[in-house]
Amino acid sequence: LNVLEAALEKGAKKVVVTSSGTAIMFGGADKPVKNEDDWSDESKCPPYPKSKVKAERAAWKFYEDHKDKIEVTVVNPGLVMGPVFTKHENSSESLFSDILTGVLPGVLEEAKWGPVDVRDVAEAHYRAMFYEGTNGKRYICVPGESTTMIDMLQTLKKELAQDGSKINDKITTPEEIMASESQAGKRMVLMSKNRGSIAKMSNERSLQELKMVYTPINQT
Which residue numbers are catalytic?
52
> Which of 198, 173, 189, 174 has its CA nearest to residue 45?
198
**Cβ proximity of 19 and 138 under 8 Å:** yes
Distance (Å, rounded) from C-alpha 60 to C-alpha 67? Answer: 10
DSSP characters for 11-33?
T-SEEEEE--GGGTSBS-TT-SE
In angstroms, how far is CA 174 from the centroid of its own chain? 21
Longest CA pairwise span in the chain (Å): 58
Please give the C-alpha separations between residue 113 and each of 11, 92, 195, in angstroms, as whole numbers.
38, 11, 10
